[in-house]
Amino acid sequence: MTNHWIDLKNADVVLVIGGNPAENHPASMLWVNRAREERKARLVVVDPRLTRTGARADLYAPIRSGTDIVFLGGLINHAIQRRLYNEEYVKAYTNALTLVHPQYRGPAELNGVFSGFDPKKRSYNPETWQYQTRTETVTGKPVTLPRMAASLDDPQCVFAHLKRHYARYTPEMVERVCGTPKDLFLKVAETFCATGEPGKAGTILYAMGQTQHTVGTQNVRAMAILQLLLGNVGIPGGGVNALRGESNVQGSTDMALLFHDLPGYLGCPTEAQADFAKFTAKWDTTSFWANGPKFFVNLMKAWWGEAATKENDWAYHYLPKVGGNYSWIPLFEALYTGKIKGLLAMGQNPAVCGPNARFERKALGNLDWLVVMELFETETSAFWHAPGVDPKTIKTEVFLLPAADAMQKAGSIVTSGRLIQWRDRVAAPPGEAREDIWILDRICRTLKALYKGSTAAKDRPILDLVWDYGDPPEAGRVAREINGFALGDVKDKDGKVLVEPGKTIPGLAVLAAAADPGTIACGNWLYAGYFHPADDGTGVAMPAAKRRGLKDPGGRGIYPYWGWAWPANRRILYNRCSARPDGRPWSEVMRLIWWDAAQKEWAGYDVPDFPPTKAPETRADPAGTGLAAQSGTDAFLMKADGKGWLFSPKGLTDGPLPEHYEPLESPIRNPLSRVQVNPVVRVWETDKDKEVGDRVGAAEQFPIICTTYRLTEHFQAGAMSRTLPWLAETQPEMFVEISKELAAEKRIKNGDRVIVTSARGRIRAVAMVTGRFKPFRVDGKLVHHIGMPWHYGWVGLATGDSANDLTPHVGDANTMIPEYKAFLVDLRKAEV
């Protein structure tokens, strides 16, 4: 989230697209309701079916699953054509005026692809997506600067490209592709784009409905572009807000529980970055990322302590270099082909939650060993005796380690709003159940013991690993390391001691100011300060994440004394944008931070996302490094040009602007271009001609669109909810929601058993015949759309077939998140 949960109360319009907060984030609706009650805010919901969120919406518009870019593109087009964007904001804070490479061509001109496409490699060379640059000599140093247009009308500027690109996304096109009636779409457009007026705030809430597509990243980009145009980023009640499901999934991302990242989004070294210099060269020198190398050194000192020295490039060679994609789908492909021999599954239930789950369950059978750490037996730990599986045919040795649940262990939880809250342990785990930290500690100690005495260089990373969290291990000691502490005197460039040895680091400003990063061990620069003693608003100091202070200066719902939000306890990111370029707030009513000319500092209710004393009129020093290279209006200080990117010159594999492609399985040809599917996605084809395999279905055989989703009553793959009687009784069985029209066509009555088939598998479910799903008219064709929850499996009290037996093995072009949200099926009434 750029903003945070409580901030929803400040919105004038709440647009929910690709999310279902009432269902999956019930507490968020408290703040949406607050906005509706107190500010007469409008709730707009765009979803394939009338959801529990849609039920409370002021405006609900149906959309065919997998066509969000067309809908959002339509909104972008509407905002531009009707000049509803916040022009002052767009000019000052975004890259709208930046000139793009003259050879850049978009899909409109190139039949669906961007310039730089290599059809053989199925990938892009992003050279033509770059800014036009000019080189200047400043104080004797040649610097390269982007070239800027004088006005938004310059045909080579970002804004002009944006305008051209989305001119094709007309209301008629929205109706044709999304199946949303044109007048309904226009109502949504008018309602939401009205927030482009300065002083108005519109927020977009989304979740996996946006991300779990082959164009998932571009879906999110489309929302960001719209919000930048409307001036909704960085202001209270605005933002692009990912509603994250698990209580600590934000924390797990921050701490890099992903194959390609290091804590604090520092990024894993790749095979191309063979040495430290090449690795650190990836960071911009004209943004806050100029501190990237320092943060990286702090991390290496936290991990390897004295073994990481300036001389050995801070033990850079200890880190494995990523040579491929090790995300979920490739991982299970490797399991399937027997490349991977062992698997630790911690609080994961791939037998239910993985795409093409039948394929993935089969892959589990190729393992030599499988360790599952769980509260209950799950389909994964029980895969070897699943219905229809002969245990004799499974060679995998399975261990189930009983784990402690959230209440039975101390630690911090990070919400979607980046708020970190410490929780104490309130009960002991039952029987032999252990906290995760205890299990991991034992594994690490055992590993170290096994390697003890080794002289091989390759074993140094394990032997040198700093591992002193106590016995039994204490979460507080891990927290201290993540927060960061001084290894020696931490001095700034003038030799002033900032932190004494052994003391915790007060904040990331110290990390940036430290002359020698080797004097600090910090496990995550973004979290620097979260465990440092801080005032809770009543004069009592405690580790910041433990605070529960209730003061809310300004009444914006910032609550700066409650817990701690990364970075720097900042609650709204990019909040420099909440003030006009000259430093005055856009609106007196919704002011957040502003330039106090008398005190010569940024004042307000939130921690400014800006150097605290940098005046609005400050000019950039093109020869400077870091934030010195940015001006007093460069609000996006993590970007090399300090601007919000309407157009992405780098960072994306599939284009600088979001372009619509159909899902891998779709009932129609892409009406926007001749390119059907995102051209750079990888389609796996393992055993595609076998019964269990990476099969792709055709519309002739599977004419119905299907999507999967969650229920309030169940959690993820169900281990924590399908085992609880109180929850099991509320949603006891697998079901599929189908329209009355489809039911009539197939002679299905409400409550009948039906069979749903896809190219990957077939499942049985109870038919829930409802008016909340309606058939779509897309590209002149009537298509049926159904949906189902994916929580179910055969273990537990509430059981049923797994929806993921139907979903395909294909992922987003950038993130590889599986396309769970749009695929093709057929459906018939079950005989019995």
Partner 1 sequence: MAKVAMLVDTTLCTGCRGCQVACKQWWDLSAEVTGNRGSYENPPDLSHSTWTRVTFHEVEDGRGLQWYHLAWGCVHCTEAACVDVCPTAALKYHPLGFVSLERDLCNGCGYCLTACPFDIPQLESNVLTGRGKATKCNLCQDRVTEGLIPACVKTCPPGAIRFGDRQQMVTLGRTRAAALQEQGFAEASLYGPELLGGLGRMFVLAARPAKYGLPERPTYPLAVTLWQRLFQPLGQLGVLATVFGLAANWVVTRRLRGKKKEEV
| 716 binds partner 1 per the rule CB under 8 A | no
User: Which residue in the block uniquely carries the two structure tokens 């795409």?
Assistant: 355
Whether residue 472 is preceded by a cis peptide bond, meaning omega within 30 degrees of 0, is: yes
Complex with partner 1: residue 469 or 735, whichever CB lies closer: 735
- Using the contact rule CB under 8 A, the part of the chain among 311-319, 438-446, 701-709, 731-739 near partner 1 is 731-739
To partner 1, the closest distance from the beta carbon of 416 in angstroms equals 15
To partner 1, the closest distance from the beta carbon of 771 in angstroms equals 5
Give the integer Cα–Cα distance in Å for 694 and 689.
8
Alpha helices in 567-662 (DSSP H): none
* Contact string (CB under 8 A) for partner 1, positions 60-89, x = contact: x-----------------------------
To partner 1, the closest distance from the beta carbon of 31 in angstroms equals 9
Give the integer Cα–Cα distance in Å for 364 and 368.
9
CA 40 to chain centre: 30
How many other CB atoms sit within 10 Å of the CB of residue 34?
17
- Using the contact rule CB under 8 A, the part of the chain among 203-211, 284-292, 384-392, 760-768 near partner 1 is 760-768
Size of the site for partner 1 (CB under 8 A): 43
Q: Which of 686, 770, 799, 815 binds partner 1 (CB under 8 A)?
A: 770
Q: Which of 118, 275, 306, 729 binds partner 1 (CB under 8 A)?
A: 729
Complex with partner 1: residue 53 or 381, whichever CB lies closer: 53
| 799 binds partner 1 per the rule CB under 8 A | no
Whether residue 703 is preceded by a cis peptide bond, meaning omega within 30 degrees of 0, is: no
Complex with partner 1: residue 329 or 728, whichever CB lies closer: 728
Write the single-letter amino acid at 397. E
Pair 536, 566: CB distance under 8 Å: no
Q: Which of 39, 56, 122, 448 binds partner 1 (CB under 8 A)?
A: 56
| 371 binds partner 1 per the rule CB under 8 A | no
| 771 binds partner 1 per the rule CB under 8 A | yes
Handedness of CA 746, 751, 753, 759 (dihedral sign): positive
Give the integer Cα–Cα distance in Å for 274 and 256.
21
For 45, the enclosing helix (H) or strand (E) is strand 42-47
| 27 binds partner 1 per the rule CB under 8 A | yes
Give the integer Cα–Cα distance in Å for 392 and 396.
10
Q: Which of 365, 537, 622, 732 binds partner 1 (CB under 8 A)?
A: 732
Give the integer Cα–Cα distance in Å for 169 and 149.
25
Write the single-letter amino acid at 773. F
| 281 binds partner 1 per the rule CB under 8 A | no
| 769 binds partner 1 per the rule CB under 8 A | yes
To partner 1, the closest distance from the beta carbon of 184 in angstroms equals 10
Give the integer Cα–Cα distance in Å for 805 and 810.
14
CA-to-CA separations, 119 to 106, 115, 125, 126, in angstroms, rounded? 16, 11, 11, 14
| 777 binds partner 1 per the rule CB under 8 A | no
CA-to-CA separations, 810 to 127, 375, 507, in angstroms, rounded? 27, 30, 41
| 762 binds partner 1 per the rule CB under 8 A | no
Pair 3, 35: CB distance under 8 Å: no
| 830 binds partner 1 per the rule CB under 8 A | no
Give the integer Cα–Cα distance in Å for 748 and 733.
18
| 408 binds partner 1 per the rule CB under 8 A | no
To partner 1, the closest distance from the beta carbon of 354 in angstroms equals 24
- Using the contact rule CB under 8 A, the part of the chain among 262-270, 365-373, 577-585, 724-732 near partner 1 is 724-732
| 172 binds partner 1 per the rule CB under 8 A | no
Sequential DSSP letters for 626-651? GGGGS-TT---TTSTTSSB-SS-SSS
| 29 binds partner 1 per the rule CB under 8 A | yes
| 631 binds partner 1 per the rule CB under 8 A | no
| 426 binds partner 1 per the rule CB under 8 A | no
At residue 142, the 3 state secondary structure works out as strand
Backbone angles phi, psi at 712, to 5 degrees: -55, -40
Contacts of 604 (CB under 8 A, 6+ apart): 554, 575, 578, 591, 592, 593, 594
| 766 binds partner 1 per the rule CB under 8 A | yes
Beta strands per DSSP E along 214-333: 240-242
User: Which residue in the block uniquely carries the two structure tokens 């698990």?
Assistant: 246
Interface residues for partner 1 in 734-753 (CB under 8 A)?
Answer: 734-735, 750-752
| 30 binds partner 1 per the rule CB under 8 A | yes
To partner 1, the closest distance from the beta carbon of 379 in angstroms equals 19
| 47 binds partner 1 per the rule CB under 8 A | no
Q: Which residues of 485-518 are buried (b: 16+ CB within 10 A; e: fewer)?
A: bbbeebbeeeeeebbeeeebbbbbebbbbbeebb
Give the integer Cα–Cα distance in Å for 381 and 347.
11
To partner 1, the closest distance from the beta carbon of 797 in angstroms equals 8
Complex with partner 1: residue 488 or 732, whichever CB lies closer: 732
- Using the contact rule CB under 8 A, the part of the chain among 49-57, 63-71, 131-139, 200-208 near partner 1 is 49-57
| 182 binds partner 1 per the rule CB under 8 A | no
| 713 binds partner 1 per the rule CB under 8 A | yes
Q: How many CA atoms lie within 13 A of 283 on its CB side?
A: 24
| 415 binds partner 1 per the rule CB under 8 A | no
Interior CA angle at 92 toward 572 and 74, to 5°?
Answer: 80
Q: Which of 731, 757, 758, 802 binds partner 1 (CB under 8 A)?
A: 731
Q: Which of 18, 48, 54, 608 binds partner 1 (CB under 8 A)?
A: 54
Q: Which of 7, 12, 23, 536 binds partner 1 (CB under 8 A)?
A: 23
| 36 binds partner 1 per the rule CB under 8 A | yes
Residues near partner 1 (CB under 8 A): 22-23, 26-27, 29-30, 32-34, 36-37, 40, 50, 52-56, 58, 60, 712-713, 725-735, 750-752, 766-772
